[in-house]
Amino acid sequence: MKTKVLIDITSHLPALITLLQDCVASGASVGFLPPVESQTAQKYWQDVATSLTAKPTTRLLIAAFEDEQLVGCVQLSLANKSNAKHRAEVEKLMVHTNYRGNGISKALLSHLEEEALVAGRRLLILDTRVGDIASELYKRMNYTEAGYIPDFALSATGELDGTTFFYKMLS
């Protein structure tokens, strides 16, 4: 498995669409409710593609590959306000269900943290649904739980789920 930063996602668009659909269908809370239509996923990834080439840079996309197959990704949203250029937000950590349990999430986060430092970002923030298995990953990766907000996001069942916020200071 290898990870790399993607700038031009055109050739990976079908795999990214499939990844988003797979993750949402398996219960991931990444801003979408199931089922995610292909057109909706394509529009989302096209918007991401635009942000990857924005000036100033506003987003990085790190992807994981098994052989040549894209199997996971994570995004780093770079704050560009004058008082916020030291921080960034970790967004949409996704690994295809067929590849989970192989250390891909950890590899993606490690690569993301390296890229954050290169970009001059020392503070990372993220949020995840209360009780999600991702919380344990973030704790193992030395993210600190900062608190939670109840009833933050609508779930696939129609209920409102709380969200836990984490941060990590990079050195």
Domains of the chain, start order? 2-124 (3.40.630.30)
Which amino acid is located at 107 in the chain?
A
Other CB atoms within a 10 A radius of the CB of residue 140 amount to 11
- Most distant CA pair in the chain, distance: 42
* 9 closest CA partner among 36, 44, 38: 44
pTM over the 0.85 mark: yes
Q: Give the tens place of pLDDT for each residue, 121-171.
A: 999 999 999 999 999 999 999 999 999 999 999 999 999 999 999 999 999
70, two tokens: 């894209």
Q: What is the mean pLDDT of the chain?
A: 97
